[in-house]
Chain A
Amino acid sequence: MYADPAAPPAASADRPAAISAAGMFTLRKLASRIVTLCWVETCKIRHDRSELYTRAIQPILWLLIYGETFTKIHAIPTPPGVSYLAYLAPGIIGQSALFVAIFYGIQIIWERDAGVLTKLMVTPTPRAALISGKAFAAGVRSVIQAAVVVVLAAILGVALTGNPLKLIATAVVVVLGSAFFSCLSMTIAGLALQRERLMGIGQAITMPLFFSSSALYPVRVMPGWLQALTKANPLSYEVDALRGLLIGTPANMGLDVIVLVAATVAGISAAALLLPRLAKG
């Protein structure tokens, strides 16, 4: 039990109970904070849907123009029986989630500038819980992007999995991926402190992250130095898991999930450590 906020302000008889409970922030409360911040995100999306539409344009271009073209010219070797478009679709899901997440730090800087962050930090929410909530809220937006790509791919005649369990697992992987990249963004926000700087850094790292992953082409066709980079890039693990789930290519699912979870935990820790710096700004 934790302090009953409904207790009248003057009632101090329940203080000892409140004190004993306040010392620990339970997993249940962490989950409640994550749900809360995801709820806020859905409210924001409901009030302004324009971003959903504009964000859908890029993946459509990648699939329709780049994907169709490279499928025709057979320039990129794909696993047997898999068309390049099918191979590309999970990569584009990973990419669009990355694009949503990598600029998520801008929101936290905006909230800092608007005074919203200060007030959130004065609620009984530890910094790591606040960052976790934000990270998974970024995942909410990314899952919607992923759904757009899945539907689009189906329209283009790519048979992605129809297995509901695999689709749920896909959503989980997408959420983990964007949780990590949004934490990376919030960490950079904590270092850069200014919106313009974060924009610049975000622009500078997005494409390298994208091209140094396995989103567009198999790792084995890359030069050695790039293969090494690919192994250090969480996007590769995200895409590997997504391909395994959506088109059934052989994937190292266990390793992928471990890497994504570890990267997310590391990202949450780093961003939470830098949050006071951002708030002080």
Chain B
Amino acid sequence: MTVLASGGDPAAAPPGEVAAVACEELTYAFGSHTAVDHLNLRIQPGETFGLLGPNGAGKTTTIRMLVTLLKPVSGRVLVFGVDTRSQPMLVRRMIGYVPQLLSADGTLTGRENVLLFARLFDVPRKERPERADAALVAMGLEEAAQRQASTYSGGMIRRLELAQALVNAPRLLVLDEPTVGLDPIARTDVWEYITKLRDEHHMTVLMTTHYMDEADTYCDRLALMHRGHIRASGSPADLKAGLGDDVTLDDVFRHYTGGTLDDDTEKGGIRNVRRSRSTARRLG
């Protein structure tokens, strides 16, 4: 297996820039159900890329392969040219991952949560306090830093998770439904911070979402995913223009996935994998 896509594979290493993310014929199956089916996808460095699709479309499975939690059945994912299967440790060093579920440790304080990730990403001891505090300040959490995360609101926990991701200065920020279960004010708030992060640190952002308005506002490019395939991709404006005048992203979504979004059953954060897997089975 090729360790680095530094040569020989034109799809992985085009002249010029290495893609931030390159999925090549990426496939994953749960038993007989193919959740991700020969997926091809390229994300350019610096762009904010949205992966959209109904529940069970394979979004989270794709993300879980990308962040090295699942091994592809076939095909591969490259993150900045590095294969997730052969060099998972190196890929992890480049990624900041915020999973669908609110995942800060409630028994630790905000600052301890961030320091933990500074340690796990081998930030040198001397830099840790400074970097942790800077990340907390950047996410507007300096006041709450000494409180246990169990006292935080949903929006604050999301910001804490962003601070955890930020402390490692990742090149790629992976957000799986970053605003699910948050109230509209917290959603806007979280997006302001994500945008700030992206602009100040020149990060590439990959996110999944159910909210068409968020995708429309914040993403440079989108891919619509359905039943493990990408049905359409492009900038929000191009996708809308392709279907005619006065088209909303909701219309685009319906056009390509043949239906509406499932009811938003994800509020409250039931376990993501199990649920999306059972949803996948139901839809498949």
Residues in A lying within 8 Å of B, measured CB to CB:
2-3, 5-10, 12, 18-19, 22-23, 25, 29, 32-33, 36, 39-40, 43-44, 47-48, 111, 113-116, 118-126, 279-281
CB < 8 Å neighbour of A279 from B69, B117, B122: B69
- In the assembled complex, how far is the CB of residue B33 from the closest CB belonging to chain A, in whole angstroms? 15
Q: Tell me whether A118 and B105 are in contact (CB under 8 A).
A: no
Stretch at the interface among B91-99, B137-145, B208-216, B223-231: B91-99
B132 shortest CB reach to chain A, Å:
12
Cα distance A3–B103 in the bound complex, in angstroms: 26
Q: How many Å lie between the Cα of A116 and that of B149 in the bound state?
A: 13
Q: Are A122 and B203 in contact (CB under 8 A)?
A: no
CB < 8 Å: which of B70, B89, B101, B202 contacts A22?
B89
Q: For A111, what are the chain B residues with a Cβ–Cβ distance below 8 Å?
A: 105
Roughly how many angstroms separate A115 CA and B104 CA in the complex, as a whole number? Answer: 8
Could you give 24 example pairs across A and B, Cβ below 8 Å?
A: A3-B122, A5-B122, A6-B123, A6-B131, A6-B169, A9-B201, A9-B202, A18-B93, A22-B87, A23-B89, A36-B119, A39-B119, A44-B107, A47-B109, A114-B103, A116-B103, A118-B69, A120-B120, A122-B97, A123-B120, A124-B93, A280-B70, A281-B271, A281-B274
B148 contacts the other chain (CB 8 A): yes
Residue of A nearest to B103 (CB): A115
B13 at the binding interface (Cβ < 8 Å): no
**CB-defined contacts of A5 to chain B, threshold 8 Å:** 93, 121-123, 168-169
- In the complex, what's the smallest C-beta–C-beta distance from B266 to chain A, in angstroms? 13
Q: Are A281 and B169 in contact (CB under 8 A)?
A: no
**Which residues of B are found within 8 Å of A22, using beta-carbon distances?**
87, 89-90, 93
Question: Which of A22, A119, A125 is most buried by chain B, counting CB atoms within 10 A of its CB?
Answer: A119
Number of interface residues of B (CB under 8 A): 51
Decide: B99 and A118 in contact? CB cutoff 8 A: yes
Residue of A nearest to B102 (CB): A115
Q: How far is the CB of B30 from chain A (nearest CB, A)?
A: 10
Chain B, residues 268-284, CB within 8 Å of chain A (1/0): the string is 01011110000000000
Of residues 42 through 69 on chain B, the ones whose CB sits less than 8 Å from some CB of chain A are: 67-69
Tell me how far the C-beta of B169 lies from the nearest C-beta in chain A, rounded to whole angstroms: 5
**Distance (whole angstroms) from the CB of B273 to the closest CB of chain A:** 6
Q: Chain B nearest CB: distance from A32 CB in Å?
A: 7
A9 to B93, CA, bound (A): 11
Whether A6 and B105, one on each chain, are in contact in the complex, defined by CB atoms closer than 8 angstroms, is no
Judging by beta carbons under 8 Å apart, are B67 and A122 in contact?
yes
Which of the residues B89, B105, B171, B201 comes within 8 Å of A126, measured between beta carbons?
B89
Contact between chains at B90 and A280 (CB < 8 Å) = no
Bound-complex Cα distance A227 to B90 (A): 50
Of residues A2, A48, A122, A281, which shows the largest number of chain B Cβ atoms within 10 Å of its Cβ?
A: A122
